[in-house]
Amino acid sequence: MRSRYRKAEAGFKSLYHFSYACTGCRKSFKRPGGPKAPELRRCPNCGGKAQNVGRHFKAPPATDARQWAKVEFLLEHGFPFHRIYVRGIRVPYP
Ligand SMILES: [Zn+2]
């Protein structure tokens, strides 16, 4: 924990990372997070589009086609995988 703060003091912009999910090759990777983090990045594995799925996304195994189909469906329909707060109170997912 202490080293993370040292990194922040040394000029790193963020203490946390966002996950980016690529449904094309069923992989996720992390990049520095924060309010200016882009919604899309290029997948380092296949070069396709990887979508920002926030800090708490847990990628299913690449071999689990059913779970990745769910992830793809949810992303296509606007589900952000981010935590949502209303007046400081976290809204649970249904
Ligand atoms: Zn990919």
Highest mean pLDDT among 4-8, 24-28, 34-38: 24-28
HEC secondary structure over the chain:
CHHHHHHHHCCCCCCCEEEEEECCCCEEEEEECCCCCCCEEECCCCCCEEEEEECCCCCCCCCCHHHHHHHHHHHHCCCCCCCEEECCEEECCC
pLDDT-derived band of residue 13, with 50, 70 and 90 as boundaries?
low
Give distance in angstroms: CA of 59 to centre of ligand 1: 13
pTM of the complete model: 0.78
Give distance in angstroms: CA of 34 to centre of ligand 1: 22
Give distance in angstroms: CA of 23 to centre of ligand 1: 7
Give distance in angstroms: CA of 89 to centre of ligand 1: 34
Q: What is the mean pLDDT of residues 43-49?
A: 97
Give distance in angstroms: CA of 84 to centre of ligand 1: 27
